[in-house]
Amino acid sequence: MKTIPYGRQWVEEKDIRAVVNVLKSDYLTQGPVIEQFESAVAEYCGVKYAVAVSSGTSALHIACLAAELGKGDILWTSPNTFVASANCALYCDAKLDFVDIAPHTYNISVDAMKAKLYEAEKNDSLPKVIVPVHIAGQSCDMEQIYHLGKDYNFTIIEDACHAIGGSYKGMKIGSCKFSDMTVFSFHPVKIVTTGEGGMVLTNKDDLYQKLIRLRTHGITRDNQFMEGESDGPWYYQQIELGMNYRMTDIQAALGLSQLDRIDEFIVRRRELVRRYNELFSDFPLTIPWQYSDAHSAFHLYVVRLKLDKIKKTRKEVFEELREKGIGVNVHYIPVHTQPYYRRLGFSCGQFPEAEKYYEEAITLPLYPSMTESEQNKVIDSLLLALQ
Ligand SMILES: *Cc1c(COP(=O)(O)O)cnc(C)c1O
């Protein structure tokens, strides 16, 4: 029996031809396709600059470095996310803390953020960076977070790894209208893929210059950033410590080809979501809550089980679905409850909304190539599992 996965890429002949063309060309990496892919994403999102990198994780890392996050600084993020959103603080030797989620959106709670900032100001422990995560593809309330950023002087890095193709108040996620930088991932389960890959977007010239250096060892070939004079046309200078986080042209070709179909992918995801939502209206489930002035990219379709209305545990429902070949998943185990983070001093009970959500959440299969009969199988199996 073939399992219906919770998410999967959609690669077509045209994508394959684009990759093969690069393989036959002169440049496998640092060639012309990277820039084409960056320009195409920047244009799609309505942002000035885009810097392609090797993964969403490396994108978060150099975004934090560009924000000059370092020893003694503090980064806040949501506990309801993939561990990478938190790990980036520790890569920079900074301290990490979390802000609990809002009960209906499952995104970082702006009210909790406000209260925590107020306290942090009194204790001289304000964050330098906040990383709001657009969970499942739905934007956080960025306008409010932006205003808090102005009041308390923190840098905002949107973790939009789930959210390329979504929009917020009429602007594409990635526009950076209400943030300093936005980060995407192009992992195969995400909205569009490059195999592995990521991107940092920004409207700020200085951040852009830093990001392109940090992606390549901290090296510059631009005279205006050098100390002293250039020795000649071969010359470069390393002016800070960067990494090799480059994306290859092979990957960029796949990304560029995929980007042509992003709107089609999103439309299909929304159709599937609409159908799930309609058919689940009588089920003992909470379906995803949506803002009226934002459109989720629907990377994930998460339902919460109304555990007081069913006679089973989440684990039993989950196992029954897996046995039937439904590749359900859970997003996310609250990051602060991971053993590594507990060793850093976090403990269960600290972020109760994220923990309660985790007890009830199940991610159902959702991907643009999903057929109606696959979706029917998920719905029928879930109906049985809930009985
Ligand atoms: C996937 C993901 C990442 C990491 O992206 P990679 O490309 O896998 O490194 C970071 N944050 C969130 C919320 C993600 O879903």
273 and 194 part of one domain: no
Q: What is the pLDDT of residue 292?
A: 87
CA 39 to centroid of ligand 1, rounded, Å: 22
Atom of ligand 1 nearest to the CA of 133: 13
308 and 243 part of one domain: no
Taking only the tens place, the pLDDT of each residue in 101-141 is 999 999 999 999 999 999 999 999 999 999 999 999 999 99
Q: What is the pLDDT of residue 1?
A: 73
Per the structure, the complete domain to which residue 317 belongs is given by: 262-386
Q: What is the pLDDT of residue 2?
A: 86
Ligand 1 atom 6, closest CA:
56
- C-alpha distance across the termini of the chain, in Å: 23
**1, 29, 51, 131 from 237: Cα distances, Å:** 57, 21, 20, 31
287 and 226 part of one domain: no
The pTM is what?
A: 0.98
- Looking only at the bridges linking them, the beta strands covering 294-295 and 167-168 are antiparallel
List all residues whose CB is within 6 A of at least one atom of ligand 1.
55-57, 81-82, 84-85, 133, 159, 161-162, 185, 187, 198
162 and 282 part of one domain: no
CATH of the domain at 268: 3.90.1150.10
CA 282 to centroid of ligand 1, rounded, Å: 33
Question: How many structural domains is the chain composed of?
Answer: 2
Place of tokens 């810097």: 51
Atom of ligand 1 nearest to the CA of 84: 10
Mutate to test the pocket of ligand 1, among 183, 185, 199, 332 (most ligand atoms within 8 A of CB): 185
Domain boundary among 232, 259, 286: 259
59 and 141 part of one domain: yes
199 and 340 part of one domain: no
155 and 291 part of one domain: no
Beta strand ranges found along 127-230 (DSSP E)? 129-131, 155-159, 167-168, 171-172, 181-185, 198-202, 219-220
210 and 302 part of one domain: no
CA 314 to centroid of ligand 1, rounded, Å: 25
191 and 76 part of one domain: yes
221 and 291 part of one domain: no
Q: Which amino acid is at 163?
A: A
132 and 170 part of one domain: yes
Domain boundary among 259, 293, 309: 259
Of the candidates 254, 280, 249, the residue with the CA atom closest to the CA atom of residue 366: 280
CATH of the domain at 132: 3.40.640.10
Mutate to test the pocket of ligand 1, among 53, 75, 80, 82 (most ligand atoms within 8 A of CB): 82
Domain boundary among 224, 243, 259: 259
40 and 180 part of one domain: yes
Atom of ligand 1 nearest to the CA of 58: 9
DSSP 3-state assignment of 318?
Answer: helix
Query: DSSP per residue over 56-77, as a string?
Result: HHHHHHHHHHHTT--TT-EEEE
Sites in the chain below the pLDDT cut of 50: none
Taking only the tens place, the pLDDT of each residue in 166-187 is 999 999 999 999 999 999 999 9
Q: What is the pLDDT of residue 82?
A: 98
**200, 280, 293 from 283: Cα distances, Å:** 40, 5, 26
Mutate to test the pocket of ligand 1, among 53, 60, 77, 85 (most ligand atoms within 8 A of CB): 85
Which residues does 172 contact at the CB level (< 8 Å), separation at least 6?
Answer: 44, 45, 46, 165, 166
Q: What is the pLDDT of residue 293?
A: 87
